[in-house]
Amino acid sequence: MGPWVEELRGTCQQARCEGKAVTLDLGRLWFVDSAGAALLRELAAGQVVHENCSMFVRYLLKETENEG
């Protein structure tokens, strides 16, 4: 949400620019707003791996993907 979306985007971009593999552990993620879902989809397209994604969060990501 809010500024955390941009913080995550910047951190992942920096790591990818440094040639590092990025994996996000989403096990403790309980809420995703539309901006956060869009970012997670964008990151996945850029080779960022999602781990421990709950069924609920996976559903939210799929639903927002279908809205676009």
Q: 16-20 — which CB contacts under 8 Å span 24+ positions?
A: 16/46, 16/47, 16/48
Task: Write down the pLDDT at residue 66.
Answer: 59
* Cα gap 59→51, rounded to integer Å: 15
Q: What is the mean pLDDT of each run of 10 residues along the chain (68 residues)?
A: 92 94 93 90 88 87 62
Task: Write down the pLDDT at residue 65.
Answer: 58
Q: Which residues contact 8 (CB under 8 A, 6 or more apart)?
A: 39, 43
* Cα gap 12→37, rounded to integer Å: 15
Query: What is the sign, positive or negative, of the torsion defined by CA atoms of 23, 31, 61, 36?
Result: negative
pTM for the complete prediction?
0.80
Task: Write down the pLDDT at residue 10.
Answer: 95
Task: Write down the pLDDT at residue 45.
Answer: 85
